[in-house]
Structure 1
Amino acid sequence: MSARITMVGAGKASPAPGSARADGGPAYASRRLAPADRARLGLAARAALPPREQAQLVLPSNRPDPVTLLERQARSRIAELVPVRHGRMMVSPLAFFQGNALGMATDLGAAPVSGLGAQLCGDAHLSNFGVSVSPERRLLFDINDFDETVAGPWEWDVKRLAASLAVAGRGNGFSRKERRKCVLESIRRYRDASAEFGTMRALDVWYARADIDEVEAALRSKMTSSRRINVDETLLRARGSGSLKASAKLTEMTDDGVRLKAYPPLMVPIAECLPDTDREELESGVKELLTLYRRSLPPERRDLFDQFEFVDMARKLVGVGSVGTRCWIVLLRGRDDGDPLLLQVKEAEPSVLKTMVPTVLRQRSAPRNEGERVVVGQRLMEAANDVFLGWQRVAGFDGRTRDFYVRQLRDTKVSAAVEKMDPRTMTMYGQLCSWTLARAHARSGDRIALATYLNSDDAFPEAMAEYAEAYADQNERDYRVFLDAVKSGRLDAESGL
């Protein structure tokens, strides 16, 4: 199928009456309707924007070039780390795609939407799924990045996932036919899972999860021994990971007790990157942040948190798109030096989708700050949450008020090596991601209306296969513009970090 690209002005919703959104908006109201009435909402949305029409790649008529968007984001970030972000995005079209969430958000905002909403991950590419651990210490497969989470059109997450499959497939040398099959089979899984969730009771949807033992058994039954290697490597890393292993790697014993190690520039203890006066001021600010953050925890977890004391902190580089945002690793001590707790305190900026969401799908009551937005979105979408997940707003950092969220550092959070996958493996992985995304959307949106909109035919999966290829083409064009900007000196980049 040939790709269709249209340039338009601001995107508009094509809402059905009572169309859905998360957190107290029409989605909540529609779930009070009888199932038949909710199904009619899905039919109305399907008539307003037929699934097949979502194949079209619609771009803003005044579309900014990707370099302009990166320059805009750089203004709020730590200047010395911005070249590292650019260097990581230079690695490949896939790395650029992962770091250019704002660019795709701008494009998504130009197109008509179904009018059915849910809580979005906001950046649902393949590498933002992976293995995590529940408080009961069970390994689960789930979404693992919520920096861009927001209530909005459910299809934006699906388009981001489908496009990442096409971009990753190109990087791995898949043929066009292989890429199309990969996207088609993955999005069919989203459709079928949505249909299943549409028939389930509310509590059954809420308790649904992808237990990794069951996932592993299902994958092994479909894979040859040679294809199991990537799965085995991922699960081995997950089972051998966790907070204690992270502590063993990132800390060392000194004359003053346990302290964080230096891995410059990826992780630098605060004592090594700031003079004494500035360090003391920053440490004081982070201690205040943690004291206030505990209020966002349930009472029993505040009691657990109070058993730990501050020991040390370091600045850390994270991800691709997040590089340059303020992120600290904080080492706390419980009973003694053998009882460590590592927390990640990460800055939460406004979601890249914030201004793109049509008014009819926006939350009625916005979170009080961006950290709360991340945490509430994660609690809505994720099957099991970190016991220390919380947020806080703090004034005084760089003369500004900044929002943060807090969680344990690497409490068994591992993603698959997408770059090593063959077509069959990536298809199975894409199906697993699609099921997970469908479950997350079913928890917050009107799952009956969504299942009805998707129907049982291939209209939407085929549309996503076409859209994904079109967006992969656009991503390659943007990537070349980005590389030219680095080559010309417009953007600074530091590779290899």
Structure 2
Amino acid sequence: MTAGDTAVHVPDSRARQREHGRDLRRETPRSALADTGSDADRDPIGILRAQNVDRLAELVPLRRERMSESPFAFYRGAAAVMAADLARTPRTGVEVQLCGDAHLSNFGLFAARDRDLIFDLNDFDETAPGPWEFDLKRLVTSVAILARQLGLGDVDEADAAARTSLAYRIALSRFADMEAAERFFTRISAKRILKVLGRAGLDDDATSAATKTVRKAERNTSERALGKLTAIRADGVRRIVDQPPLTTRVAGWESATADDLFRGYADTLDADAAALLSQFRVTDAVVKVVGVGSVGTRCLLVLTTNADDEALFLQIKEASASVLETHAGAVAEAEPGIRVVRGQRIMQASGDPFLGSLRADNGRSFYVRQFRDKKGGVDPMQLQGADQIAAYAGLCAVALARAHAQSGFAATISGYLGGGRGLGAADHALARFALAYADRNEADHAALIAASETDWYLPAGA
């Protein structure tokens, strides 16, 4: 059964799925979740270098600089490396719509269509159908890497990783038992973050930090960004303020070409969002550096305004083949921009009404989304101790479980993992995987730092 099949075939009943999941243990025992695959013929720097070939050359050094900061930063930018490694590991054969890059920094807060603040996955550049294990292993491993970087010992690293797996497993079992429509409409409110911290018995500083994060996200609107990111020139025209090299000017965005591009994008929106967008015009755009792994891809911050100088900020981000396609055998169902939009709509509990795609005349594919529409998030590096890490990672695990459940095979995966509420065989196996892969990630990070400029910049095979 695959995620692609769900468009045609109705999945089996919950009972039959759970039975099938338990049967899968004979073919792929849960202990196999600890297998990190062979170390032979790995070339992590070569994989990263190959990604540089089609990126903006002037930003490639910044990508290396950001990935060199720490093992966790390296991990954030090395989704392609891990995809290649995961392709060598055992899996059950059950596929769902994947995020493709489900680490702790790719979850956060944003506004639902009804303006409530919710918590969910927020990065879908690598989304594609694939083995559910890939996302869960990437999340659990990010927990171990973070715990190690924050100075926790092996025991606490393993415990935080295992508790993340447990949170996913319990949530997935609960989602599997829900009526399908009820599950579809379930979402995690921002208030859940505060409740989880309270139940975990964490200190007042942690609760206060979470409260500040929520309040900051609520203030993070286009109106506020207008005052912070733009200025009115002497000629009375409002422009985004240049901050090179993080934001640099784009030539030609006031031309009819830009309007044509946006008309094509508007065709991919629902009618209500398209009608609202029609009241705005493109005023300015800059190339904006984002993230760690995305540095060097073509990403634009676009200012649109209406006749009353009200602003709607949009981000246009280049989409290329998912690392799951390039390194792990996933099959693309559409061009990259459409793939990202489709995957995000499947996995998120409440999507961005301005999420759409466009294709440039040069053939490049892009997706479009709102910029800073009540967006915010917890900085994992500010978490303290195993309890805080596990509490936050548990929220991420619940969001991931809900996203995976939308593909219709939650009960199969739940049957395979088991339904106990204490740490079980799968949790311990995934924790062993996470610690072993954290060792590998540290070695890869060291290899990046040691790599010469020639190793980093030359295209693969040159």
Whether TM-score is above 0.5 comes out as yes
- Is the Cα contact below 8 Å between 1:27 and 1:445 reproduced in 2? no
Q: CA deviation at 1:113?
A: 1.1
Question: Shift of the alpha carbon at 1:285?
Answer: 4.3
Q: Helix, strand or coil: the match of 1:324?
A: coil
Matched, 1:266 2:229: no
Q: Counterparts of 2:6 and 2:121 in 1: how far apart (Å)? A: 25
- 1:81 counterpart SS class: helix
Match of 1:312 in 2: 284
Amino-acid identity (%): 37
Amino acid at match of 2:141: A
Assess, with a 3 A threshold, how the Cα gap between structure 1 residues 325 and 72 changes in structure 2: closer, same or farther: same
**Partner of 1:280: helix, strand, or coil?**
coil
Q: Is the 8 A contact 2:193 2:210 kept in 1?
A: no
Report the equivalent of 1:393. Answer: 359
Decide whether aligned partners of structure 1 residues 219 and 284 sit closer, same or farther in structure 2, where only a CA change above 3 A counts: same
Q: Measured at CA, do residues 138 and 124 of structure 1 come closer, stay the same or move farther in structure 2, by a change above 3 Å? A: same
Give the counterpart of 1:197 among 175, 180, 187: 175
Match of 2:70 among 59, 81, 92: 92
Residue 449 (structure 1) aligns with: 412
Alignment match of 1:471 (pick from 434, 437, 440): 437
Per-residue deviation, 1:114: 0.9
Matched, 1:22 2:3: yes
Cα offset for 1:204?
0.8
- What is the alpha-carbon distance in structure 2 between the residues aligned to residue 453 and residue 435 of structure 1? 18
What is the aligned partner in structure 2 of residue 322 from structure 1? 294
Q: Distance in 1 between matches of 2:329 and 2:286?
A: 39
Q: Deviations over 1:376-407 (max 9, x none)?
A: 100000011111100011222xxxx1000001
Which residue does the alignment assign to 1:431? 394
Provide the residue aligned with 2:104 in structure 1: 126
Offset of residue 217 of structure 1: 2.6
Q: Secondary structure at the match of 2:183?
A: helix
> How far, CA to CA, are the matches of 2:412 and 2:284 in structure 1?
50
**CA distance in structure 2 between the aligned counterparts of 1:326 and 1:38, rounded to whole angstroms:** 42
Question: Aligned partners of 2:252, 2:398: CA distance in 1, in Å?
Answer: 47
Tell me, in whole angstroms, the C-alpha distance in 2 between the residues paired with 1:144 and 1:104.
Answer: 19
Instruction: Tell me the distance in 1 between the aligned counterparts of 2:389 and 2:253.
Output: 48
Aligned to 2:266: 294
Alignment of 1:69-84 (within 5 A): 69-84=47-62
Question: Which residue identity lines up with residue 304 of structure 1 in the other structure?
Answer: L
Q: 1:206: which partner in 2?
A: 184
Shift of residue 60, structure 1, vs aligned partner? 6.0
Partner in structure 1 of residue 82 of structure 2 = 104
How many Å separate the matches in 1 of 2:429 and 2:322? 26
| 2:114 counterpart SS class | coil
Q: Distance in 1 between matches of 2:254 and 2:274?
A: 23
After TM superposition, give the deviation of residue 289 of structure 1 in Å: 2.0
256-265 vs 189-198, which deviates more? 256-265
SS at match of 2:156: helix
Question: Which of 42, 55, 59 is equivalent to 2:38?
Answer: 59
Which AA in structure 2 matches 1:258? R
* Counterpart contact for 1:60–1:110, Cα < 8 Å: no
Distance 2:292 2:92 in 1: 30
* Residues 194 and 442 in structure 1, CA contact (< 8 A), matched pair in contact too: yes
Q: 2-side partners of 1:375 and 1:252: how far apart?
A: 32
* Structure 2 contact 86–134 (Cα < 8 Å) conserved: yes
Give the secondary-structure state (helix, strand or coil) at the position aligned to 2:20.
Answer: helix
**Structure 1: gaps of 5 or more residues:** 1-18, 271-278, 493-497
CA deviation vs aligned residue, 1:321-350 (integer Å, no higher than 9, x gap): 00100011111112321x111110110011
| SS of residue matched to 1:235 | helix
Deviation at 1:284, TM superposition (A): 4.9
Deviation, 1:263, is 1.2
Tell me the CA shift for residue 268 of structure 1: 1.7
State the match for 1:491 in structure 2: 456
Per the TM alignment, residue 27 of structure 1 is displaced from its structure 2 partner at its CA by 8.0
Structure 2 Cα separation of the partners of residues 114 and 178 of structure 1: 28
Q: Which runs of 5+ in 2 are unaligned?
A: 458-462
Deviations 1:185-219 (A, max 9, x none): 11101000011011110011101111112332332
Q: What is the deviation of 1:421?
A: 1.1
Whether 2:382 is the aligned partner of 1:402: answer no
Deviation track 1:357-380 (CA, whole Å, cap 9, x = no partner) reads 457xx57xx12x100100110000
In the TM superposition, residue 26 of structure 1 has moved relative to its aligned partner by 5.9
Secondary structure at the counterpart of residue 131 of structure 1: strand
Q: In structure 1, give the amino acid aligned to 2:418.
A: N
Corresponding residue number in structure 2 for 1:230: 209
Task: Please tell me whether the aligned partners of residues 254 and 282 of structure 2 are also in contact (alpha carbons under 8 angstroms).
Answer: no
SS at the partner of 1:140?
Answer: strand
**Which segment drifts farther, 162-171 or 52-61?**
52-61
Over aligned residue pairs, what C-alpha RMSD do you find? 1.8
SS at match of 1:406: strand
What TM-score comes out, normalization by structure 2 length? 0.93
- Give deviations 1:122-158, integer Å, cap 9, x for gaps: 0000000011111211110100100000000011000
Would you say the 8 A contact 2:315–2:371 is kept in 1?
A: yes
1:420 aligns with 2:420: no
Verify the 8 A CA contact 1:234 1:417 in the aligned structure 2. no
CA distance in 1, matches of 2:299, 2:126: 16
Q: Distance in 2 between matches of 1:324 and 1:190?
A: 33
1:373 aligns with 2:344: no
Q: What amino acid maps onto 2:413 in structure 1?
A: L
| 1:117 corresponds to which of 95, 102, 111 | 95
Decide whether the 8 Å contact of 1:144 with 1:413 is kept in 2: no
- Counterpart AA for 1:242: T
CA distance in structure 1 between the aligned counterparts of 2:173 and 2:75, rounded to whole angstroms: 30
Gap change, CA 1:311 and 1:438, over 3 Å in 2: same
Q: Could you tell me how far apart the structure 2 residues matched to 1:100 and 1:204 are?
A: 36
Match of 1:40 among 19, 32, 37: 19
| Structure 2 residue corresponding to 1:256, chosen from 236, 243, 248 | 236
2: distance between equivalents of 1:189 and 1:290?
A: 42
Aligned counterparts of 1:111 and 1:160: Cα–Cα separation in 2:
13
SS of corresponding position for 1:473: helix
Q: Secondary structure at the match of 2:293?
A: coil
